[in-house]
Amino acid sequence: MNEKSGEVFSIAKDNEVINGCTISKEVYHEENTITYYSLAKKTDISKEIHPYYKFMIVASGQCEVYGDKDCHTLRVGEAIVTPVDEPVGIRTDMSVIYTELTIRRNDQMNDAIKVGEVFKLAELLPYQEGKIINMDVVHNEKMKFVIMSFDEGTGLSEHAAPGEALIFGLEGEGIIGYEGKEHTIKAGENFKFEAGGKHYVKAVSPFKMALLLTL
């Protein structure tokens, strides 16, 4: 994954728009790809038909995701899974920065996700007192996208994953311990683990995050 490791960063701040331009930066390319997009105001990615789903998560600004029949406004913290084999375009009046994950037809997607409907990742899970809740949003043999809610004071003990992982802070505040150093992460911020990197998570307040694991 072509992204910095071991420090808190912001996809929105690191991928600023350029006036009049659309920019894409692919950070992972396997059977599923991860790409950051930056669209300046009054720009448009014209409608295209793809044989795969596109999972879009907005980091900054807002945009319209449109097809031949429907048009959906997508704002910060919101996401959508676009349909396959249908024309889909993206346009913005005010600029937008978002992450796009491609999802193959045979990837396993949670029934909580409805293709073509706008949703907030942070609202897919509740909090429960003294508990950590996980939900697999989509997965296959080489990729898993998970959201997690942590009640205040809960956490994950130190462990390592077999692949790289990209973290999205969704709500509240947490601490990520990584290779002996602690990092505070809040909503709208990101963090990357290397494969085998030792890490733990603690919730300073009720905290939600998404984890995109590549295997």
> Within this chain, do residues 109 and 145 fall inside the same structural domain, yes or no?
no
Q: Is residue 191 part of a domain?
A: yes
> Within this chain, do residues 85 and 63 fall inside the same structural domain, yes or no?
yes
> Within this chain, do residues 56 and 157 fall inside the same structural domain, yes or no?
no
> Within this chain, do residues 103 and 70 fall inside the same structural domain, yes or no?
yes
Handedness of CA 214, 7, 202, 184 (dihedral sign): negative
Which residue has 């600029």 as its token pair?
A: 95
Q: Is residue 162 part of a domain?
A: yes
Which CATH number fits the domain that encloses residue 60? 2.60.120.10
Predicted pLDDT of residue 60: 97
Is 22 within 8 Å of 45 (Cβ atoms)? yes
> Within this chain, do residues 192 and 131 fall inside the same structural domain, yes or no?
yes
> Within this chain, do residues 105 and 176 fall inside the same structural domain, yes or no?
no
Q: Is residue 138 part of a domain?
A: yes
Domain boundary, last residue among 96, 120, 144: 120
Question: Can you give the pTM of this predicted structure?
Answer: 0.96
> Within this chain, do residues 83 and 152 fall inside the same structural domain, yes or no?
no
Q: Is residue 4 part of a domain?
A: no
Predicted pLDDT of residue 118: 98
Nearest C-alpha neighbor of 97 from the set 165, 190, 172, 14: 14
Q: What is the pLDDT along the chain (215 residues), one digit of tens a residue?
A: 999 999 999 999 999 999 999 999 999 999 999 999 999 999 999 999 999 999 999 999 999 999 999 999 999 999 999 999 999 999 999 999 999 999 999 999 999 999 999 999 999 999 999 999 999 999 999 999 999 999 999 999 999 989 999 999 999 999 999 999 999 999 999 999 999 999 999 999 999 999 999 98
Task: Please count the structural domains in the chain.
Answer: 2
Predicted pLDDT of residue 6: 93
Single-letter residue type at 192:
K
> Within this chain, do residues 201 and 137 fall inside the same structural domain, yes or no?
yes
Domain boundary, last residue among 61, 96, 120: 120
Q: Is residue 3 part of a domain?
A: no
> Within this chain, do residues 209 and 156 fall inside the same structural domain, yes or no?
yes
Q: Is residue 136 part of a domain?
A: yes
Q: Is residue 25 part of a domain?
A: yes
Domain boundary, last residue among 72, 100, 120: 120
What are the DSSP calls for 82-95, one per residue? EPSSSEEEEEESS-
How would you classify the pairing of strands 53-66 and 87-92? antiparallel
The domain of 138 spans 125-214
